[in-house]
Amino acid sequence: MMMNVMEFFKSLPKKKCTKCNNAIQEQADCYGNICEECDHPAR
Ligand SMILES: [Zn+2]
């Protein structure tokens, strides 16, 4: 059921950046294990 899928994603542990240890937001999945700040090309 849809509700079960929603609960599944809610219960997922938050990713952490391997560089700065900040929590990675869901939309940053494409960055792998690095947060948006550390993946910034200007840094
Ligand atoms: Zn970071």
What are the structural domain ranges in the chain? 14-43
Are 12 and 22 a contacting pair, CB within 8 Å? no
pLDDT value at residue 20: 93
pLDDT value at residue 41: 78
pLDDT value at residue 36: 82
Q: What is the pTM of this model?
A: 0.48
pLDDT value at residue 8: 77
pLDDT value at residue 30: 56
How many angstroms is it from 32 CA to the middle of ligand 1? 11
How many angstroms is it from 28 CA to the middle of ligand 1? 11
Q: Across the 43 residues of the chain, what is the mean pLDDT of every consecutive 10-residue run? A: 77 83 71 80 70
pLDDT value at residue 21: 92
